[in-house]
Amino acid sequence: MKKLLEFIMFALVIYGLLTLCSCSVEEEITQSIYEGLESRPASTKPANVDPFTVCGGCSTEVYPNPINQPNAYLDLNGYWHIEYYGATYSNWNVEYSGVSDNFNVNNIPTIRSTFITDWWYTLGTAGLMSSYYSPFGQWTQGFRRVIANTHVQLQIEINTNEVFNASGAFTRDGELQGIPTSYSRADNTTQVVMQNFREMDNDTITLVFETEFAYDNENYRQVRIDSLKYIVHAIEE
């Protein structure tokens, strides 16, 4: 009986350690994109600055553009659902809470966001088309434009050290570059474009966006990091 109790206690200790030390795949992915990816309130610089004097609630809302994604919807679990119907991009609307007048420049709020996802890909092959023309071939527009009589298509193997992100960012030699940045317009809105591929069908993608309010004022700049999830559904042509 004593050994049984010792075994149970040992098992409980191991379970507790695993619970404390384990982290989900999602956490690993998100932490690798931005430090402290989880949604968090705006940080304050310096500590005695009230964020509400800078940007109110310092909030950022991102959702699919209804013109580009008319069938998009948000499910009960908080996942956006968008479609791939042939277009290789999806537009996302961004709405900000705004900043106080002191942080507007020519009536433009000093707000900007950077975007990145957890969906990465590499280029396998690239197709190139080349046309050959003959002066003795066919012409059009009154002999002002020659018509190509031969087309040659080449498939080139791509072997690079670059990995690409659905946001348009990429890594080169292990360094993250090209993270897209969008700046607020006068009406506290902007747009961002994400790449959209058939290969994303039924994939759940995490979109991370870091927003800076009063980004040009180091003493009052507020930073907020948020994320959302969306699922792509490929529509049969």
pLDDT of residue 60: 93
**pLDDT tens-place string over residues 145-174:** 445 455 455 554 555 567 899 999 988 877
pLDDT greater at residue 17 or residue 179: 179
Region of poorest pLDDT, from 20-24, 43-47, 129-133, 168-172: 20-24
**pLDDT tens-place string over residues 54-94:** 887 789 999 999 999 999 999 999 999 999 999 899 999 99
pLDDT of residue 66: 95
- b/e burial code for range 90-102 (CB count within 10 A of at least 16 → b): bbbbbebbbbeee
Q: Strand 104-105 to strand 108-109: parallel, antiparallel, or no bridges (unpaired)?
A: antiparallel
pTM equals: 0.68
Sign of CA dihedral 114, 97, 184, 95: positive
Domains and CATH numbers, the chain: 34-120+165-234 (2.60.40.1930), 124-159 (no CATH)
Quick check: 210 and 169 in contact, CB under 8 A? Answer: no
